[in-house]
Amino acid sequence: MLNIEWILLYLALGAFVGFMSGLLGVGGGGLLVPLLASIFIYQGFSADSVAHMALATSLACMIITSSSSMRSHASKDAVMWVVVMGMAPGIIVGAFFATQIASRVNSAYIAIFFALFMALVALQTFLKWQPKPSKSPRTLLGLILAGMGIGSVSAVAAVGGGFLTVVYLGYKNVDIKRAIGTSAAIGFPIAITGTIGYMINGWAITLDKPYTFGYIYIPAFLTISIASAIAAPIGARCAHNMPEASLKKVFAIICLVLSIKMLVSFL
């Protein structure tokens, strides 16, 4: 049942996710999925569709959030547009086909995948493990292939490519602030492609559910998007005023907390 309490909760969630999206350049999906899944469960949605609805709604919100975050980082010249354009074709292909597969997979398996992925990212950051920086220049083929991989995983975990992109660009000797700005821009094509995919695949399944458009839950999408678009520029300004070490710690802690939260919600 939809009431004012849920709307206020979505607004608060949107403000938090928007701020963290601007701060970390992660698009917001990695934050939204476990929190939305928990809220949808409390609202009484079927457990069989909760993970899919959380993923789809998160990706739809990321269209607005990543756009706002991208503009803020671009204003500080922190977006590597050559990298974004090179990865975009692979991202679109990878994300679209991944949504076709994910929409047919049991929600519990998606939740486990999401949790394990986030835990792995947290562990990588806590242990300060980093692939040996590559000395080879970035090539168009390399960017396309990286985009396909990032787009595929991101469409299933709804992380907007931010986590993987930051690691990948670090491997390519890009400092974390420019990596964060670029990952915010990369989240935009992933969000659009993933949203269309989940919308198409969930259309027949959610016809009997009110306020839905495919797997997207419209009230959550609208309220979260409005609040996150306002908060994202604030987070982006904070990101450029924080030390690199602090950004990495925040990044890792959030990954670990959300991993545990997702497992607890479903198990």
Tell me the range of 52-56, 71-75, 255-259 where mean pLDDT is highest: 52-56
pTM for the whole thing? 0.71
Residue 243 makes CB contacts below 8 A (sequence gap 6+) with none
Mean pLDDT score, 130-154: 74
CA atoms within 13 A on the CB side of 41: 15
What pLDDT digit, counting tens, does each position of 89-135 carry? 888 888 888 877 776 777 677 777 777 777 776 777 677 666 565 55
For 21-40, what is each residue's pLDDT tens digit? 777 655 566 678 878 888 88
Mean pLDDT for 178-186 is: 81
Domain assignments of the chain as residue spans, ordered by start: 4-266
Instruction: Return the pLDDT at 233.
Output: 79
Instruction: Pick the range with the lowest mean pLDDT from 36-40, 57-61, 173-177, 226-230.
Output: 173-177
* Residue 219's pLDDT band (cuts 50, 70, 90): very high
Of 1-10, 197-206, 220-229, 252-261, the one with minimum mean pLDDT is 252-261
At residue 65, does pLDDT exceed 90? no
pLDDT at 244 > cutoff 80: no
Q: What integer pLDDT is reported at residue 30 of this predicted model?
A: 67
CA dist., res. 239 & res. 138, Å (int): 26
Return d(Cα 41, Cα 213) in angstroms, integer. 18
Give the pLDDT score at 25: 57
Question: Secondary structure of the chain in the HEC alphabet?
Answer: CCCHHHHHHHHHHHHHHHHHHHHHCCCCHHHHHHHHHHHHHHHCCCHHHHHHHHHHHHHHHHHHHHHHHHHHHHCCCCCCHHHHHHHHHHHHHHHHHHHHHHCCCCHHHHHHHHHHHHHHHHHHHHCCCCCCCCCCCCCHHHHHHHHHHHHHHHHHHCCCCHHHHHHHHHHCCCCHHHHHHHHHHHHHHHHHHHHHHHHHHCCCCCCCCCCEECCEEHHHHHHHHHHHHHHHHHHHHHHCCCCHHHHHHHHHHHHHHHHHHHHHHHC
